[in-house]
Chains A and B, each alone.
Chain A
Amino acid sequence: GDSVTQMEGPVTLSEEAFLTINCTYTATGYPSLFWYVQYPGEGLQLLLKATKADDKGSNKGFEATYRKETTSFHLEKGSVQVSDSAVYFCALTDGSSNTGKLIFGQGTTLQVKP
């Protein structure tokens, strides 16, 4: 079945450092890809999305490109802030069952130190 694999955390960076969180996927069909962010004790918020190959999603300085050839959707930000500390989830729509449900990676914790 479809699956998502994220790099293990925690990822610890200093403020203004460059961020990359790797995400690779296995899927049948043509899924849409998403990055969600979860701050402590809260629900998930959509950060960005891409619906087809070579699409780039971007929001709040974060960006990710849908790479079909490498089945990847890596999250990047040029300069992180302390306020970016959170858990980041990569997800895809379940194309194999056509139910619209999301399949999530295990999440990557980002800690940004001042």
Chain B
Amino acid sequence: DGGITQSPKYLFRKEGQNVTLSCEQNLNHDAMYWYRQDPGQGLRLIYYSQIVNDFQKGDIAEGYSVSREKKESFPLTVTSAQKNPTAFYLCASSIQHRSSYNEQFFGPGTRLTVL
């Protein structure tokens, strides 16, 4: 079955440590996205990528970094510079980045907790 996988489902990190969240898709989608979700709020875009080796900052990119070395993979690193990293992180992908008609498909999410 095609889909998006995120791992791990739960992640705990000590303050001052970097941590990398995995996102893999086998849908052959061009575009991939990372969102952050906090309780009672909608999703906020962290980074997005429309092609391999290219990505752009979203609305809340500070303290995060990404890479897109392969079409199917878009890992997100939460660095120690992120002031409040505890949140639910969602990865998504879509067929064509610049089309307004193509919906995004979401992974199951990773819940990051900073201890």
Binding site for B on A (CB under 8 A): 4, 30-32, 34, 36, 41-46, 49, 51, 89, 93, 95, 98-102, 104-107
A-B contact pairs, 14 of them (CB 8 A): A42-B109, A43-B4, A43-B106, A43-B109, A44-B90, A44-B106, A45-B106, A51-B101, A89-B42, A89-B43, A100-B94, A100-B97, A106-B40, A106-B42
Q: Which residues of B contact A89 (CB under 8 A)?
A: 42-43
Task: List B residues 79-115 near A (Cβ within 8 Å).
Answer: 90, 92, 94, 96-109, 111
B40 touches A99 (CB 8 A): no
CA distance A107 to B6 in the complex (A): 22
CA distance A106 to B50 in the complex (A): 25
CA distance A57 to B46 in the complex (A): 28
B48 is contacted by which of A44, A51, A101 (Cβ under 8 Å)? Answer: A101
Chain B residue, CB-CB nearest to A105: B42
Q: Which residues of B contact A107 (CB under 8 A)?
A: 40-42
A86 to chain B, nearest CB (A): 14
CA distance A107 to B106 in the complex (A): 16
- Interface secondary structure of A, over-half rule: loop
Q: Which residues of A contact B58 (CB under 8 A)?
A: 101
B90 touches A102 (CB 8 A): no
Q: Is B45 an interface residue (CB 8 A)?
A: yes
Chain A residue, CB-CB nearest to B31: A100
CB-based closest 3 A-B pairs: A104-B42, A43-B106, A93-B100
Q: Is B64 an interface residue (CB 8 A)?
A: no
A100 is contacted by which of B4, B90, B99 (Cβ under 8 Å)? Answer: B99
A49 touches B103 (CB 8 A): yes
CA distance A34 to B101 in the complex (A): 10
